[in-house]
Structure 1
Amino acid sequence: MSAFQTRLEAHIAEVVIDRPPVNALDSSEWHALAAEIDRLGADPEVRVIVLRAEGRGFCAGVDIKELDRHPERIVAVNAGNYATFRAIHRSPVPVIVAVHGYVLGGGIGMTGAADIVVASRCASFALPEVDRGAMGGGAHLQRLFPVQKVRYLFFTGEAISAEEASRYGFIERLVERSELAATAREIAAAIAAKSPAMIRIAKEALNGIEDGNLEDKYRWEQGFTLQAYTSPDSAETRRAFVEKREATF
């Protein structure tokens, strides 16, 4: 069964992640998601992409259990994450991400890569990479929060609620969970009603005036994930996560 489903209606492509129990994707699923977003962006019938999820939360990031069993797949996971975040950020059409529940790790990457963010009041954001023996995601977190807040969240791994996060301005609409999908589609419809040629030009122009290159920044971070994986502490964090215990260093 696929980790996500896609439907196209009124020029709006809706991609829904549904990979129980926590929407954590393995290496092949990250690559498949990237390919789907690339395919949709190249489809002239698609004017806007909405990315959301079913279940308890938006996305818990990578499948830590896969990496615990197959640590050599970290290269494939890194490549899949990179491809997905790039596909969202560099998509020729706007991408709206609608999040609820936990937004962790790769969920932060997708949110930070998006053009517009809609959040349920139940959403919370965290980047617990240090506690998983990995690096990455700081570049995307920095599109959501100012630099010192990014460092606080990265060093501590603490979660921040959607209510508090909304003060930083990246959440376009903060709504009830029951209103999340409809709100994202409402915004998408407003964009889809405009000239598709003008919107595609605008997307490329806005990407071009950003400060720095998001993909290059993330690639820099990923090099430190490989460095982290050479440390025994990294393996201990993954084993502790799988065994549901506190890590010891």
Structure 2
Amino acid sequence: MEISTVDYERFKIILEKQSGILLGDNKQYLVVSRLSNFIQEKGLTSMASLLDKINSIQGSVLLKEVVDRMTTNETLWFRDTYPFEYLRSHIVPEMRNTSFNLRIWCAACSTGQEPFSIAMQLEDTTINSEIIATDLSDRVLKKARIGVYQQIELNRGMPRDKLMRFFTPLDNGDWQVNSKLRNKVNFRPLNLLSTPYGVGKFDVIFCRNVLIYFSGENKTKVINGLIDCLKPGGYLFLGASESLTRDSKPLTMIRCNPGLVYKKEE
């Protein structure tokens, strides 16, 4: 499948408006690799015909499927390590003195590895916790709620001791997060471009490795929306290659050595 320059520009605008994902000028190959089979499955013949159908009255469902196919959903267990260690070693003891319930939001949670990593890290602490996990994609949320992972997925960061403690082996060789841990995470659909979010206030927010796909304007919009959802004294974790923008609302940067976390002043 080939994409004309005109159709590629049309698609870039639609994708960014719907999801915040900003494609570069030479990413046609990425669109082809992720949508060629999809276009055939839908009985369409080209990117132009797909765009025409998306723009029709019945196109909203199709658009949602297209965005789902274009979402990267790259994720690991305990990614970068330090956010989970800092959560347990510094934030939990600090919050224990001021709150009976630690509210955590995992934004852009993908297939669930990050919120389940958070839940595991909070086991054996004496603080109560509520973990909300959101994503734009219904497909990844469905997988996360079920909590079933192949061995190859678990090889990406899952410690053996936690695998044996928190997972149940299935007959087909997959592993499922046990029901106790699954019940600690509330998965919900949410588009990060749809501010204000209406999810309440949180002590800790994880929004990691998604803003790298957004334009500067949308990064600021999302970061400020997240900051509005932080309680005074709350913490915001971004990805290792992400930072606040020039127009972000002010937060205090704290070095975790390695890594950074941002704190809202009380």
Q: Same fold (TM over 0.5)?
A: no
TM-score by length of 2: 0.30
Larger Rg: 2
Larger helix proportion of the pair: 1
TM norm structure 1 = 0.31
Relative contact order (C-alpha < 8 Å, sep 6+): which is higher? 1
